[in-house]
Chains A and B, each alone.
Chain A
Amino acid sequence: MQFIDIANAEELQITTEAPAEGGGVAASLGINGTLFVFQLINFAIVASIIWFLILKPLTKKMTERQKMIDDSIENSKKIQDTLQRSEQKYQEKIDQAKVEYNKIVEKATGDAEAAVATMKIKSKEEIELLVDQAKRNINIEKTEMMASLKAETSNLIVMALEKILSEKIDAKKDKGMIEEMIRKL
C-alpha cells in the first residue's frame, strides 16, 4: 500500500511502473522462470512447515482423542453389557437357588414326615410287643399263682387231713369236717 500525500489532488497523476522489457505477456505479468522456481520452493517449505508443525500434530491429536472417545464409548457399552449379563446370571442363580431350596425343603419335609410315620409304626409295634409281653407275664404269673394256690390248698388239705386223722373222730365229726373243708375250697 502506498501512502501518498495528495493534499493537492488536482495535480494527481496516476502511473504504473513500466513492464519488464522484451518479455512479452508473461514478462509483463511478472512471470519469470527463476522466480517461479524460487516461489515453488518457498511454497514447498511453507507447506512442509504448516503440515509437519501444525496440521499433522493437530489432526493426530484430534484422531487420537476421537479414537479414545470411541474406545471409551465402546468399553462403556461392553461394561454395560457385561454388567447386564452378570445381573442376568445373578438372577438366574438366585432363581436356581430358590428352586433348589424349595426342592430341599420339600425333600426334608417329605423325609421328616416319612420318618415320623416310620417311628409311629415302630413305636406302635413296640408298644404292642410290650403289651403282649406284659400279658404273657401276667398269664404266667397267674398260672404260677394258680399252681401255687393249688399246691398250698393241697398242702392245707393234707395238713387238715393229717390233723383230722390225728384226732379221734367219730363218723359224725368226720363227715362235718370233710364238708367244711370242701366248702372252704
Chain B
Amino acid sequence: MSQLVLPPLGAETIFHIGHLPVTNTIVNTWVAMVIFLIFGLLLRKRIGLKPGKLQNWCEYFLDLLLGYFDQVTGERKKTLQFLPIVGSVFFFILLSNWLGLLPGTGSILVGHEPLLRPANTDLNLTIAMALVAVVASHVFGFVTVGVFTHLNKFVQFGSLVKSFKKGPIGIFTAIIEFAVGLIEIVSEAAKVVSLSLRLFGNIFAGEVLMTVMLSLVAAIVPTPFMLMELLVGVIQAGVFAMLTIVYMTVASAEPHGAEH
C-alpha cells in the first residue's frame, strides 16, 4: 500500500548543533542566505553610477517596488527609511517561497526527513518576521512622533485626566478613547498573529497542494499549480511587505487631533 505523507505543521529536525535543533526550514533559510550573500557580493563588485545589466535589472525591480511603497508612505524619503525592514522582508519571503518550488525540496531525504522545506512553512520564522515588523513599526513611531505621543495612542491617561476639565461629555469621550486605546493594544498582538498565520497558511497550503498534486500525477498536471505557487510566492511577499509598511506608516503618523 502506497502512503501519501503530507508535511507536518512543524518543521522537521534534521540534525543538531550542540543542543540546537536544525530543522529543514532553517536549512532552507541558510540556502537563501547563501544565495543573497553571493548575489550581494557579485552586485557590490559590479555596482557603479553607470549600471551594468545586473544592476540595471535590480534597479528596475527595486524602483518598481519603491513605487508601490511610495503609494502607501506618500513620499520616497519615508519609503527609504522603512526599506531596510520592508525590503528585506519582501525579498527574503519571495526567495524562500520560490526556493520551495525547486526540485529536491521535499524529495531529498536525510534519514526519514526531507532536507529542504520552504522556510515560510515554519511558524517560528513567520512569527519572528511578523514580530520584527510590528516592533520596528513601534520603534519608528517612537522615533518619529515621540515616545509619549506614540504611547498615548494606546494608553490615553493624559486625555482622561484633561477631560475632567471639559465636563461630563468630555469625560465620557475620554473613557471611550481610553477603552479604544486598550483595544488597540490587542490589535497590535493581532497584527503579529495575522501576519504570521497568513503567510504560514498560504505557503503551507501550497506545499500540501503540491504534495498532493505531485502524488497524483507526477508530470505536466502539477505545472499550472507550480505556476500558481510562483504567483502566490510573489503575492504573499507583497502582502507581508505592504502590511508591514502600512503599520510603519500608521505608527509614524501624528495621532488624530494631536494639533488641538
Contact = CB atoms under 8 A, between A and B. Distances in A.
Interface residues of A, number: 54
Nearest to B132: A43
Contacts, number: 198
A14 B1 CA distance: 11
Interface of A: 1-9, 11-20, 27-32, 34-36, 38-40, 42-47, 49-59, 61-65, 68
Q: Is the interface of A mostly helix, strand, loop or mixed?
A: helix
Interface residues of B, number: 67
B21 A34 contact: yes
A64 B49 contact: yes
Contacts of A64: 49
A141 B142 CA distance: 129
Contacts of A27: 10
A40 B25 CA distance: 13
Contact of B10 (A1, A30, A56): A30
Contacts of B40: 49-50, 52-54
Interface in B210-250: 210-211, 214-216, 218
Contacts of A20: 10
Contacts of B29: 39, 42-43, 46
A68 to B, nearest CB: 7
Given A54-B36, A57-B47, A43 B125 contact: yes
Contacts of A45: 33
Contact of B59 (A17, A50, A58): A58
Contacts of A43: 29, 92, 125, 128-129, 132
